[in-house]
Structure 1
Amino acid sequence: MRKVLILVFLLLLSSISLGQSILINGAGATFPYPLYSRWFYEFEKETGIKINYQSVGSGAGIQQIKARTVDFGATDAPLPGKDQGENGLIMIPTVIGAVVMIYNLPNINNLVLTRDLIADIYLGKVKNWNDPKIRAVNKDLNLPNMPIIVARRSDGSGTTAIFTNFLSTVSSEWKEKVGAGTSVNWPVGIGGKGNEGVAGIVKNTIGAIGYVELAYAKQNNLPYAKIRNKFGNVVDATFETIKSSAAFFKVPDDFAVYIVDAPGRNSYPITGYTFLLIPKEQKDLEKGKALVKFIRWAYEKGDKYAEELLYVPLPDNVKRLALKKLDLLTYQGKKIVDLLK
């Protein structure tokens, strides 16, 4: 009898251990990494489900989920609906963020750039900080006679996709000569891996300029430029101006949309959604359930953490569309949302 009780006890311990040992592996975008780190920590604390995330860039995240070497991929470069279907994936938006132009100029904290100037800097046409075009919009600043050191991504990047879509929208020359994508043939610049790499280059290089997600500028205490938007107003990247930009774009059923260069009076011009890519057919039921639980948790409880880090939570109508997409996740032909009930 004693042996039977011990066996039952060990089986109970084993089942408890298994219940707590769900491990989800994900990889991809660096754009949302500051937020995802916080979300995954809080989610594990509440549920016991651990999410291991590798911040390796959107390009790598897309490749890894297509190869099924991870449980989910993360990207800021939206995968078109056709590609989602061909690869057996659904794409779920998580939050909206901003790409900002960080710079390293001692004693200059109020730099203003125009949309055209950003394109000309990255085309290599504006090469010095005291160029007349920069001075024209910064008349109160004592800009140095110093070369502009351009920093950009060296890896496949959703942040790059957002940024180059913005450049292609505001500059016909950029669109024709370079184009948009997760990787492009840069006319100029020093490459850094991830948002972290670009932030590091700028932080350590006087005269440098680079593009990163807003949280990286905040974390590295780097100033970033205000930008004259399409309407003609000079705007900062704030919760309100990012939200204003997103409001001008309709979200399609496949969620594949870039939200750059919005026309609003108060719109910050370089913004984007970031997404999770999840296989429709799940091979592991418990992992499938955990992914659904996480997305529901993020939508219900994650907004406060997003706002703390200056990401903009999704509008309610977008959340409703995304939650409906979860109906497409199956395990052995059965809907995972039904198996959760």
Structure 2
Amino acid sequence: MRHFIRSAAVAIAMAAATTTLTLSAALAADISGAGATFPYPIYAKWADTYKKDTGVGLNYQSIGSGGGIKQIKAKTVTFGASDAPLKGDELEAAGLAQFPMVMGGIVPVVNLEGIKPGELVLDGPTLADIFLGKITSWDDEAIKKLNPDVKLPSQAIAVVHRSDGSGTTFNFTYYLGDVSADWKEKVGVDKAVEWPVGIGAKGNEGVANNVSQTGGAIGYVEYAYAKQNKLTHTDMINKDGKKVEPTAAAFSAAAANADWSSQPGYGVILANEPGAESWPMTAATWILLYKKPDDAATTGEALKFFAWAYDKGDEMAGELDYVPMPDKVVESVKAMWAKEVVGDDGKPLYSAM
């Protein structure tokens, strides 16, 4: 009996030790990130597939670009994510590397009874005037002129905007500032601005939910959120004066001539690019991590995940209407990792085999 109890105790202890080791290994391998809501749908899809392939998990908090920048600077996550790229001097001061992960499109979404996705078209100046509060009704002459064949309701426009620090807002306001001198002067361009009108909502998720629940509403979200929430997007008149739909091809057209090496940290803004097929509110989203991280092992795991996403995630990105980064940009980013993201011994934390 004593032998049995002793054997049982040993077995329980060994089992407990095994469980502890297994949990510790899993926790050590898991990657933490926080930031932009713009890429959350594709990051979630990549993370799910990556865990099935490798057993390594990704805990990503979709809290907005401003929050992601704060968390990586506070070193509470392995990486931050932002749709508003940091400038070279800020990257240098913080010791951060920055690289683009994927591209997508920002779309106006509306809640108008009887209006189907793509049936309504807007141009930049009209969109700016709506968010400035200068156009307050859906049957305004400026909207009617762009939509002569659409029956527009005599209904008040309910503007919905982001309430948090947001890279989506940065790109949206960048576009509005580029097409409207009035917007640039009165509101400006930033991750968070003093909105002239409207109600605020947190994240792309919050804007999507508010628009879907509010008659007469208009907001702006990443296209995947519009699709997932079955929202009615508008088409746009682009810089070349052409009517375009939000599609992966239109986002790709806007990014076709981007010179990614022209800005520190690949910080190229894709708003209002020329081209007959270009979507005017195309944007990239960036990853931020330390060049010499405190936790080198976990940063190495993060780089493995990003490399996997670059190499194997294109089809998944396309299914959600995101646009993968061009091969030349991916090669450049991986070369940057090998040169700049290193451990205490100066050796790269990731190197392509």
Residue 50 of structure 1: which of 54, 57, 62 is its match?
A: 57
Q: After TM superposition, give the deviation of residue 324 of structure 1 in Å.
A: 1.5
Q: Which residue of the other structure, out of 341, 348, 353, is the alignment partner of 1:336?
A: 348
Name the SS for the 1:175 alignment partner: helix
1:298-334 Cα shifts (integer Å, max 9, x gaps): 1111111100100000011111111112121122132
**Is structure 2 residue 43 aligned with structure 1 residue 36?**
yes
Cα distance in 1 between the residues matched to 2:170 and 2:71 = 18
CA distance in 2, matches of 1:339, 1:266: 37
Spell out the pairing of 1:140-151 with structure 2 (5 A cutoff).
Answer: 140-151=149-160
CA distance in structure 2 between the partners assigned to 1:16 and 1:70 by the alignment: 22
In the TM superposition, residue 282 of structure 1 has moved relative to its aligned partner by: 1.9
Matched, 1:101 2:108: yes
Q: Is the 8 A contact 2:300 2:350 kept in 1?
A: no
Q: Which amino acid aligns with 2:288?
A: L
Deviation at 1:159, TM superposition (A): 0.2
> What amino acid is aligned across from residue 225 of structure 1 in structure 2?
T
- 8 Å contact 1:28–1:61 — kept in the other structure? yes
Separation (CA, whole Å) in 1 of partners of 2:238 and 2:350: 46
Instruction: Provide the identity percentage.
Output: 44
- 1:83 and 2:85 are equivalent in the alignment: no
Cα separation, partners in 2 of 1:259 and 1:196, compared to 1, 3 Å: same
The answer to whether structure 1 residue 286 and structure 2 residue 297 are counterparts is yes
1:63 aligned onto 2:63 = no
The structure 1 residue matched to 2:285, chosen from 241, 257, 274, is: 274
- Checking the alignment, whether the CA contact within 8 Å between 1:26 and 1:70 is kept in structure 2 is yes
Matches within 5 A, 1:185-264: 185-251=194-260, 252=262, 253-264=264-275
Deviation string, structure 1 residues 145-181 (Cα, Å, up to 9, x no partner): 0111000000000000000000111111111111101
CA contact (8 A) 2:343 2:349 kept: no
Gaps of 5+ in 2: 1-6
One-letter identity of the residue aligned with 2:344: Q
Letter in 1 for 2:341: L
> For 1:56-76, what per-residue CA distance to the aligned partner results, in whole angstroms no more than 9, with x for missing partners?
000010011111111110100
Other-structure match for 2:312: 301
TM-score by length of 2: 0.91
- Unaligned runs of at least 5 residues, structure 1: none
Code of the residue aligned with 2:204 in structure 1: it is N
Cα distance change on mapping 1:340 and 1:308 into 2, 3 Å = closer
Deviates more, 1:231-240 or 1:318-327: 318-327
Q: Tell me the residue number matched to 1:321.
A: 332
Aligned equivalent of 1:175, options 179, 184, 187: 184
Report the CA distance between 1:284 and its aligned residue: 2.0
Aligned to 2:26: 20
Corresponding pairs, count: 339
> What's the offset of the Cα at 1:292?
1.4
SS at match of 2:275: coil
* CA pair 206-8 structure 1, distance change in 2 beyond 3 A: closer
CA distance in 2, matches of 1:14, 1:128: 62
Q: 1:149-160 residue pairs with structure 2 within 5 A?
A: 149-160=158-169
In 2, Cα distance between equivalents of 1:120 and 1:10:
64
Correspondence for 1:131? 140
SS of the counterpart of 2:151? coil
SS in 1 for 2:265: coil
Aligned-pair CA distance for 1:249: 2.1
**Partner Cα separation in structure 2 for residue 294 and residue 67 of structure 1:** 22
Matched letter for residue 347 of structure 2:
K
Aligned-pair RMSD on alpha carbons?
2.1
